[in-house]
Chains A and B, each alone.
Chain A
Amino acid sequence: MKHAVILGLFVLTAIVLSIVQIVFGTLYTTAGLEISQIQTQKQAVDKENMLLSEKLYTLSSLTNIEASAKQLGFEDETSKSMLVVTQNSAFALKP
Chain B
Amino acid sequence: MRWRYLAVFAFFVVLFFGIWTKLFYWQIIDASELSSMGESQYAEYLEIPPIRGDIKTSDNFPIVTNRISYLVYANPQKTKDITLESNTLSSLLHIDAASISAQLSLKDKVWVPLATSIDEATKEKIAALNLPDMGFQETPTRFYPEASMAAQLVGFVGKDALGNSKGYFGLEGYYDRQLRGRIGKTTVVHDAFGKPVLAKLTSNSGQQDGRTLVLHIDRVIQYALSKKLKEGIQEYGATSGMAAVMDPKTGAVLAMSSFPSFDPRDFWDYQTKDYINPFITDTYEPGSTFKPLVMSAAMDAGLVTPMSTCPICDKPVTVGDYQIHTWDNKYFPNTTMVDIMIHSDNTGMTYVAQKLGLNRMISYLTKFGIGQPTGIDLQGEFAPPLKPKSQWYPIDLATTGFGQGISVTPMELLDAFSAIANGGVRMEPHVVAEIETPDGQTIPIPPKQVDQPISATAAKLMTEILVDTTNKGEASFARLKGYRIAGKTGTASIPLNGHYDPTKTIASFIGFAPADNPKFIMVVILNKPTTSIYGAETAAPIWFSVAHDILNYYGITPTENDTSTFQQ
Chain A interfacial positions (CB closer than 8 Å to B): 28, 31-33, 35-36, 47, 50-51, 53-54, 57-58, 60-63, 66, 80, 82, 84
Contact = CB atoms under 8 A, between A and B. Distances in A.
Interface stretch (B7-15, B63-71, B396-404, B487-495): B63-71
Interface in B520-557: 548, 552, 557
Interface string B188-230: 0001000111110100000000000000000110010000000
A51 B68 contact: yes
Contacts of B112: none
A47 B195 contact: no
17 contacts: A32-B195, A32-B198, A36-B196, A47-B68, A54-B68, A57-B143, A57-B145, A58-B145, A60-B61, A60-B145, A61-B147, A62-B146, A62-B149, A62-B223, A66-B223, A80-B548, A82-B558
Interface string B163-207: 000000000000000000000000000010001111101000000
A21 to B, nearest CB: 12
Contacts of B558: 82, 84
- With most chain B CB atoms within 10 A of its CB, the pick from A47, A53, A57 is A57
Is chain A's binding surface mostly helix, strand, loop or mixed? helix
Interface string B351-364: 00000000000000
B480 A28 contact: no
A35 B198 contact: yes
A84 B555 CA distance: 10
Contact of B199 (A28, A58, A60, A66): A28
A53 B67 CA distance: 9
Contact of A54 (B143, B146, B147): B143
A61 B145 contact: yes
Nearest to A79: B548
Nearest to B545: A80
B62 interface: yes
Given A51-B120, A61-B145, A80-B480, 17 more contacts: A32-B198, A33-B195, A35-B195, A47-B68, A50-B66, A54-B67, A54-B143, A57-B62, A58-B145, A61-B61, A61-B146, A62-B149, A62-B219, A63-B147, A66-B223, A82-B558, A84-B557
Contact of B149 (A33, A50, A63, A80): A63
Contacts of B223: 62-63, 66
Contacts of A58: 145
Q: 5 closest pairs, A vs B, by CB?
A: A57-B145, A31-B198, A61-B145, A32-B195, A62-B223
B146 A32 contact: no
Contacts, number: 55
B36 to A, nearest CB: 23
Interface in B78-122: 120
Nearest to B200: A32
B65 A36 contact: no
A51 B67 CA distance: 7
Interface residues of B, number: 27
B149 A32 contact: no
Is chain B's binding surface mostly helix, strand, loop or mixed? mixed
Contact of B67 (A28, A36, A50): A50
Contacts of B220: 62
Given A60-B61, A63-B146, A32 B66 contact: no
A24 to B, nearest CB: 10
A44 B41 CA distance: 30
Nearest to A83: B557
B65 A57 contact: yes
B68 A35 contact: no
A62 B201 CA distance: 46
Contacts of A36: 195-196
Contacts of B145: 57-58, 60-61, 63
A82 B219 CA distance: 23
Contacts of A31: 198
B269 to A, nearest CB: 20
Contacts of B195: 32-33, 35-36
A28 B196 CA distance: 11
Contact of A50 (B61, B68, B199, B201): B68
A53 B146 contact: no
B191 A32 contact: yes
B50 to A, nearest CB: 14
A33 B201 CA distance: 13
A53 B65 contact: yes
Nearest to A86: B557
Contacts of A32: 191, 195-198
A55 to B, nearest CB: 10
A82 B557 contact: yes
Nearest to B227: A66
Contacts of A82: 552, 557-558
A43 B198 CA distance: 19
B235 to A, nearest CB: 14
Nearest to A82: B558
Interface in B32-80: 61-62, 65-68
B190 to A, nearest CB: 8
Nearest to B195: A32
A35 B196 contact: yes
A76 B146 CA distance: 19
B392 to A, nearest CB: 45
A67 B68 CA distance: 25
Nearest to B557: A84
A9 B99 CA distance: 78
Contacts of A60: 61, 145
Contacts of B149: 62-63
B26 to A, nearest CB: 27
